[in-house]
Amino acid sequence: MPTPQQLDAFTLAFHRQAIARMQEQPQLVEQASQTLKRWETQRGATASDPYLQRWKMLLAQGCDEIAAQVCQDSAEAATLRNVSPLGFVLSTAERQTLRQRVMH
């Protein structure tokens, strides 16, 4: 079972790669915004709402700001990574490869 540090290393690496992809394919930013809207509609209010609101603001500000806020070494950045709407950006195979590389 992975340690919390390994999981954090994976989510950080995932987000760095996902943000790089979003910089190459700006339409992914809009898809992430749509994901947040869908979550709001389907889930209703949750304890993660403040972080989802933060994601909305970050997506509106662009990839450089997303990277600056989400890829730092802080508790808030780690929480943002854990409630991230970017899970769709990388394929399952890419996630598995990244997980193996980072966690072993």
3-state secondary structure 11-61: HHHHHHHHHHHHHHCCHHHHHHHHHHHHHHHHHCCCCCHHHHHHHHHHHHH
pLDDT tens, residue by residue, 45-93: 888 999 999 999 999 999 999 999 999 999 999 999 999 999 999 999 9
Percent of the chain with pLDDT over 70: 100
pLDDT tens, residue by residue, 61-73: 999 999 999 999 9
